[in-house]
């Protein structure tokens, strides 16, 4: 076992030895099912919608021999409706389970939960803050697809202002050497200054661009993201829609897919909307499309993470 992680709230908590351990453990756990978490219970508190994160954690727990208790719309179906605070909910739920996975609309909510919980808390997305298990599965996928986690060029494309997956991934890439990040977005969706300052501190080279087609041929990894319209104010949404009408696109389509090098890979945390628009046959057969393999990798790395957190707590 590597050094102990009590909770997993932000991607910067991952150390090289934890990453190495989790990658190896995820590979071992691929063929299942297992009994490593028999008798253990995972609680999932989701205040925001999810398909992949919630279902992959549920599936991971089942495949490890454990069970789970889940609320998929905690805003409506938990006692939050009656006015119960997040703090009280965590103090209750952590008494039922061996680990709590939480997704919440407020940035910082997972950190609050971790402070109060006696069992490990995993941040499954806190508003526009972080989504660290996504970053973990992203680097697991990058390593599998291009065979290294140092010395590669990555474009992060789309809504970099409110997209928590790019934030977590950028933080995590700060741990590696020889990475060059190109942030590709319209002016109003640029990456935050906090991330830029972090990358400067960690000697990670980065630049900002607004011409996706110019960037694509240079990249090993193209990390696409959707616009987080649900996190925009009415004014932001209107301004964004006005911008979209000008026709400037940040999308991979049949028009620019040929610019992607044969040894490059397209990743996306999903769900995707219109920022990737390719025929299903291309998505199914072209090895440059890695996002459905990325989804599957998420299951195995979450099995490894649950095993590490629960069995060392």
294 contributes a contact to ligand CP by CB under 6 A: no
For the record, the structure tokens of 269 come out as: 């945390």
Pairing of strands 152-157, 121-126: unpaired
Site membership for ligand CP, residue 207 (CB under 6 A)? no
Q: Give me the residue label for tokens 């697809």.
A: 145
Scanning 49-57, 168-176, 220-228, 239-247 for contacts with ligand CP by CB under 6 A, the matching segment is 49-57
288, 252 in Cβ contact below 8 A?
no
Among 20-28, 76-84, 268-276, 277-285, which window interacts with ligand CP (CB under 6 A)?
A: 268-276
15 is catalytic: no
Is position 270 an interface residue for ligand CP (rule: CB under 6 A)?
A: yes
134 touching ligand CP, by CB under 6 A: yes
Q: How many CB atoms lie within 10 A of CB 104?
A: 24
Tokens coding 56? 């992959």
- For residue 208, with 0-12 CB atoms within 10 Å meaning exposed, 13-18 middle and 19 or more buried, which class applies? middle
What is the dihedral angle through the alpha carbons of 308, 115, 173, 146, rounded to the nearest 10 degrees? 30
164 is catalytic: no
| Minimum distance from residue 162 beta carbon to ligand CP (Å) | 14
Closest Cα to residue 100, out of 1, 239, 200, 6? 6
Q: Is 226 a catalytic residue?
A: no
132 binds ligand CP (CB under 6 A): no
| Residue 67 host element (H or E) | strand 67-71
Known catalytic membership, residue 131: yes
Stretch that binds ligand CP, among 8-16, 51-59, 147-155, 278-286 (CB under 6 A): 51-59
**Catalytically annotated residue among 7, 53, 128, 175:** 53
Out of 51, 79, 239, 311, the only residue in the binding site for ligand CP (CB under 6 A) is: 51
* Number of residues counted as binding ligand CP (CB under 6 A): 9
Q: Is 52 a catalytic residue?
A: yes
Q: Which residues belong to the active site? A: 52-53, 82, 103, 131
Site of interaction with ligand CP (CB under 6 A): 50-53, 131, 134, 269-271
């Amino acid at each position: 076992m590597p050094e102990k992680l009590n909770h997993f709230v932000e991607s910067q908590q991952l150390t090289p030895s934890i990453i190495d351990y989790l990658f190896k453990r995820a590979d071992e756990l691929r063929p299942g099912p297992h009994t490593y978490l028999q008798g253990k219970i995972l609680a999932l508190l989701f205040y925001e919608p999810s398909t992949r994160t919630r279902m992959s954690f549920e599936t991971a727990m089942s495949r490890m021999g454990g069970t789970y208790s889940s609320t998929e719309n905690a805003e409506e179906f938990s006692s939050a409706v009656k006015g119960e605070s997040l703090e009280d909910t965590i103090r209750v739920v952590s008494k039922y389970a061996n680990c709590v996975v939480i997704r919440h609309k407020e940035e910082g909510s997972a950190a609050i939960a971790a402070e109060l919980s006696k069992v490990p808390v995993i941040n499954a997305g806190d508003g526009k803050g972080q989504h660290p298990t996504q970053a973990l599965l992203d680097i697991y996928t990058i390593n599998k697809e291009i065979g290294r986690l140092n010395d590669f060029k990555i474009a992060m494309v789309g809504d970099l202002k409110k997209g928590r997956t790019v934030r977590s991934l950028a933080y995590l890439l700060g741990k590696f050497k020889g990475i060059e990040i190109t942030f590709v977005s319209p002016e109003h969706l640029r990456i935050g200054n906090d991330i830029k300052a972090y990358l400067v501190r960690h000697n990670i080279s980065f630049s900002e661009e607004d011409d996706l087609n110019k960037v694509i041929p240079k990249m090993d990894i193209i990390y696409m993201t959707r616009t987080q319209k649900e996190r925009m104010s009415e004014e932001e949404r209107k301004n964004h829609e006005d911008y979209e009408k000008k026709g400037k696109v940040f999308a991979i389509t049949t028009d620019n897919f040929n610019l992607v090098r044969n040894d490059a890979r397209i990743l996306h945390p999903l769900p995707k909307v219109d920022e990737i628009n390719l025929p299903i046959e291309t998505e199914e057969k072209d090895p440059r499309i890695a996002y459905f393999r990325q989804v599957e990798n998420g299951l195995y790395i979450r099995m490894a993470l649950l095993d590490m957190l629960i069995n060392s707590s």
